[in-house]
Amino acid sequence: MDDHALDASARRRPRFRRASDGPAFRLTEDDIAIVRHIARHRFLRSTHVAALVGRSLDRTNDRLCHLYHAGLSTAATNCARWRRKSVPFWLREKGREALVSWVVARIEARGA
């Protein structure tokens, strides 16, 4: 095995548990759209999120993965029956706080 392959496997996030050190990423407008849809519907499968935001399932799953490891959402990954299907997601308190902060910032920006 070459060094590059070892580096990639060492950086891989765990699949069915939250990473102890969440990924470094910036919350984007698209992430907020995902969070808003999950908040509105309470529980959404990744395929439903992709349809609602109009993005590919791969790209949506990538963002959902980042949101999950950053602690903003939770996924039903603890059940074996979900491991081969579209996993449902819901928001954690941190996700709701991020959404409220984003809305407040938008309101303040309009008033300025």
The string of pLDDT tens digits covering residues 70-80 is 888 877 665 44
- Nearest Cα neighbor of 72 from 112, 106, 23, 15 is 23
pTM over 0.75: no
Residue range 24-49, pLDDT digits in tens? 668 888 888 999 999 899 889 889 99
Burial (0-12, 13-18, 19+ Cβ within 10 Å), 65: middle
| Among 101, 41, 99, 42, CA closest to 67 | 99
- Helices (H) and strands (E) counted in the chain, each on its own, are 5, 3
User: How many beta carbons lie within 10 A of that of residue 85, not counting itself?
Assistant: 12
Q: What is the pLDDT of residue 80?
A: 46
